[in-house]
Amino acid sequence: METLALRRLSEFAVPTAHELSALEGAKQARREFRRNQIISRQGDPVREVYFVAEGWVGSSLEVNSGRKQLAKIYMPGDLAGLPNIATTRATSSLVALTNVTVDVIPVKNLAQLFEQASRLGFMLFVASQQERVLLMDQLAVVGQTSAIQRVAAFLVHVHRRLTVLRPEAGLVIDWPISQQRVAEGAGLTAIHVNRTFRELTRRGLIMREGKKIRLLDLAQLCELAGLPDHVFIRNPSWLAGYCGGV
């Protein structure tokens, strides 16, 4: 669904035709990955980033104890692997959480993108600040809350992201994420995630239906998660005044 990706892209400000074509021009090749395949590996030299066209991509860091932290779920329209460009070797691995399609963007095209469409560059800059906000939120959840709050926050977060892509999605989430991966995201063990899911079910907050999860009481889940529901800026006045690239 190319349309999903576009919907995400326009979240902050609608890109112009010129900006879209600059983005298209930066793409080098389309690549497909099967669920659980590694797209790029922690420690490898960084040459490219990936525009997610379809599917979910996870960003995962391994610490020397061998345990992994899932730091981010990239969805259609996201630019995956951007943080890696800051270091000589990739700080995180990218893994396909579902079957995915990505467009490869070489790092050097990225710099050109900033020249050719500098307003788009500034939009990417702001989007990166958005990502920092989400990371800080996740850090606060993992660092300061209980297991049940962390799992609730994980569910609420994914639901909110999906709602941006498909406002009509509703309360039933297609859930391709194993409990092991939820554990990696929430800083828990898979076993405890399992017990926590059951507790959420027992409390009547969620219902699991095969590979879907139904959120039975979103308000209470949000309350439990304690995540502020940020209002990301849209068409800010200081961007309107920005005259580059159009």
**Among residues 87, 198, 204, 208, the one that binds a copy of itself under rule CB under 8 A:** 87
Q: Does 139 bind a copy of itself (CB under 8 A)?
A: yes
**Among residues 34, 144, 211, 214, the one that binds a copy of itself under rule CB under 8 A:** 144
| Alpha carbons 219 and 176: distance in angstroms, whole number | 23
Site for DNA in 30-49 (CB under 7 A): 36
C-alpha angle 85-86-87 in degrees, rounded to nearest 5: 95
Closest separation in Å from C-beta 149 to DNA: 8
Kindly list the distances between the CA atom of residue 159 and the CA atoms of 58, 72, 169, 176, 204, in Å, as whole numbers in the listed order. Answer: 16, 14, 9, 13, 17
CB closer to a copy of itself out of 166 and 230: 230
Question: Which residues are CB-contacts of 199 (< 8 A; sequence separation ≥ 6)?
Answer: 148
Burial of 217 (0-12, 13-18, 19+ CB in 10 A): middle
Interface with DNA by CB under 7 A: which range of 7-15, 118-126, 208-216, 227-235? 208-216
Site for a copy of itself in 184-213 (CB under 8 A): 184, 186-187
Secondary structure class of 238 (helix, strand, coil): helix
**Among residues 29, 38, 136, 172, the one that binds a copy of itself under rule CB under 8 A:** 136
- The site for DNA (CB under 7 A) is made up of 36, 146-148, 178-180, 187-192, 194-195, 197-198, 208, 210-211
